[in-house]
Structure 1
Amino acid sequence: MTDLKGMTDLKSRADLKGKTALVTGASRGMGRAIAQRLATDGALVAVHYSRHADAAKETVAAIEQAGGEAFPVQAEFGTDGDVGTLLTGLTAGLRGRPLDILVNNAACGNLETVWSAGSVDQLTSERFDEVFAINVKAPLFLVQATLPLMPDGGRIVNISSLATRIALPSQIAYAMTKGALEVMSRTLANALGGRGITVNTVRPGSTDTEVNDTLRSPELRAVLTDLTALGRIGRPADIADAVAFLASDDARWITGNVLDATGGAYLGPMWAR
């Protein structure tokens, strides 16, 4: 008799054996979960970090302890030569191998800053420039820099935000950057389709990570849970699984799309259930 449960377990993981991946902002939070998932699926993962070297080492160590392969790459986005620095470390770590998967996850959006200084009456020119440099300029020019390393049939996945679908006045600049990222994804999907390279976006909602301090409030968690159709806060693995799907061969005919991975947040009034 066929073991249907075994077949299901096998299909639950993508086959990325022999592939390579770069995940930006992978030292903590969603980025770490994405890096770990891609490594579990068989990819050699470049774990990018900006300042948290110890956290990046922890991510690499966790991947290796689970039987995967990874190496850290440092570059601080929003500074001169950021993409060039990353590219140097990436090519050294790849040791002549191509880059099959690029996940643009790193972003400037720590909520203690966004909530306090993100509204139109408090937003400064300096903060605006910083957020756009990290969230828009760096991903675009990282794509440009890594395309020569990427073979035909490669995968680019950009991480957006629920902030592009709903109006959050306290996050105007952050939301604008993520809107730009979604437009960039569609444009690149059209431009790179001739090479079989897919470009898609994953749009998370509220996600429970150690770097998301605002979700430590029980009151806010309750409100966000009530506003989500699936009735809970997102987990890093929820986002990582969505990225892994788009990075896999199963998603070969999907490009230029936004995958809403919010658990159905803000879909409508809850009394309609």
Structure 2
Amino acid sequence: MRMEHTPGQLLSAMRAKNPLVQNITNFVAMNIAANVMLAAGASPAMVHTKEEAGEFARIAAALTINIGTLSPDFLAGMKEAAKAAGEAGKPWVLDPVAHFATAYRRAAVAELVEFRPAVIRGNASEIMALLGERSSGQGVDSGDSVTAAEGAATALAGRNACVVAVTGEVDFVTDGRRSVRIAGGSALMPRVTALGCSLTCLVGAFAAAGPQDVFGATVAALAMFAVAGEEAAVEAKGPGSFSPLFLDRLAALTPEMLDAKARVVAA
């Protein structure tokens, strides 16, 4: 399958734009997510309160929403921002963290989906549950394989006219018509808190640089993460040393290197 743009082309475009991305993410993720975006070449802003979230979403080039540490105040800001992003024609990304765990989280995600995200990124259990299928997730951890969620992801993408990314050992990205798998990364990545949340923010940065090719932008973000993770793991002695090495690899990755090392295949 031929992509409209290569991951390297989209990385080059993202860095040239240095997009301002509004990230309404969880307390655990704010620091690492901001560092990931800065290392990759984007400009993060963690603006979340209702009083300014909507106004800021009109200024930012893209928005990402992560419900990890959900609260009424956070949810109010999320809804204002998602509404404003849609009205301004800005792409936004939804990360429905453990949305199946409680009735409050399920209701919150149902409300947010109505604002039509351009991308939904989650683990296999989150994506399966979002379509209404039975999943084996426990808290924020997936109990299902990416392969098991591919059908649900394709159906969810078609139903919501968006891109769906299922991340795991081998990632899966689909817009309901086209699908790819992305290999790479490291087994150390799930042992560093909030890297998945950071990936959601990075998807927003790539979407900001390529709003006409959100599918390609999502693939490029996941490919960049996979390549940087694989390279960082070569020198890492554990999760503690992996984290700074990962940031270094993100910063050092060139568009040419990304195109040469990304393992993206049609599904």
Provide the TM-score with structure 2 as the length reference: 0.39
Provide the TM-score with structure 1 as the length reference: 0.38
Larger of the two Rg values belongs to structure? 1
